[in-house]
Amino acid sequence: MNLARFKAKKMMDGQNRANIKAGMEVGIVTKEDQRSGKITSGIVKQILTNSSHHPHGIKVRLTSGKVGRVKEIHTAEE
Asked if residue 78 belongs to a domain, the reply is no
Q: How many domains does the chain have?
A: 1
Q: Are 13 and 76 in contact (CB under 8 A)?
A: no
Asked if residue 48 belongs to a domain, the reply is yes
pLDDT tens for 53-62 read 999 999 999 9
Q: Are 58 and 15 in contact (CB under 8 A)?
A: yes
Asked if residue 12 belongs to a domain, the reply is yes
Tell me the whole-structure pTM to 2 decimals. Answer: 0.81
pLDDT at residue 2 greater than cutoff 90: no
pLDDT tens for 11-47 read 468 999 999 999 999 999 999 999 999 999 999 999 9
- Residue 61 has φ and ψ, to the nearest 5°, of -110, 130
Domain of residue 21: give its range: 3-73
Q: Are 47 and 58 in contact (CB under 8 A)?
A: yes
